[in-house]
Amino acid sequence: MGVPVYLVDAFADGAFTGNPAGVVPTAEPLPESLMAAIAMELHQAETAFVSPLADGTVSLRWFTPTVEVDLCGHATLAAAHVLREHPQAGWAFDRDEIKFATRSGVLIARPDGDVLELDFPDEAPEPAELPGPLPFPGGAVWTGRNRMDWFVQLADEAQVRALAPDPAAVAALGLRGLVVTAVADRGGPADFVSRCFYPQTGVPEDPVTGSAHCGLAPFWADRLGRTELVGFQASRRGGTVAVRLAVDRVRLGGRAVTTVRGELLLPD
């Protein structure tokens, strides 16, 4: 049996930038074990599995090559892009406001000019001491956590860009992973920069992490005094995430580009 499969660069400035995600749309949900096997085969940071539900929403689940996760921004953006740009036969839903049913509740994707905007939960981190030493030399300005990740603020953008953390030490901290951030250098388009490390979920460094910006947005809004900001994730590929705070929600804006479209051949 064959099903459609796409690779999409999300939060991208063009092809081969941003964060690639697999997207597998199917008329009926696949067995969990098969989704996990496909995600391992595609070997992207996340693969999104989408299928239509009777109430007009779309089931959405996210898998890394090793685990299922509770929230993923870039694969949600990729899934919304696929459903708008590559309509699936027989699917009936509102492509101008796609409602995804997920482990983190209903998430909404809407077009906003030439970008897609995602309506995600506010995941502001609270101050907390790390359960172990910093997984890299030097000190931190601030440390904290939300339900998913540890957060570390450094003194400047240069320190964030120069990081080479020990993956084993990051994994030893627990939670999903580690988000490191600093205010951006003056004169650039971004207000803050970040890098995200998730070795315990099979992703040593994520290129662009939408879900991390659910915590970064309120964190930097409090410090910079604005509710609309631009974040740049300073990974090797790099990617831009526009963030906008609403009541208990964070709006994430970005562009997506399809780079691969094909058919996944499933075992009988």
Catalytic residue among 46, 117, 123, 205: 46
Is-contact 53 81, C-beta < 8 A?
A: no
| Among the listed residues 25, 86, 87, the one whose alpha carbon sits nearest the alpha carbon of residue 53 | 25
Q: Two tokens at 224?
A: 């910079």
| Residue 46 among the catalytic residues | yes
Integer angstrom CA distances of residue 268 from 2, 3, 23, 221:
10, 12, 21, 51
Give me the helices (H) in the chain, please.
32-42, 73-85, 157-162, 167-172, 210-224
CA gap 203, 220 in Å, rounded: 25
The contacts of residue 267 (CB under 8 Å, 6+ apart) are none
Secondary structure (DSSP) of 177-232: EEEEEEEPPTTSS-SEEEEEEEGGGTEEEES--HHHHHHHHHHHHHHHT-SEEEEE
* Active centre residues (catalytic): 46
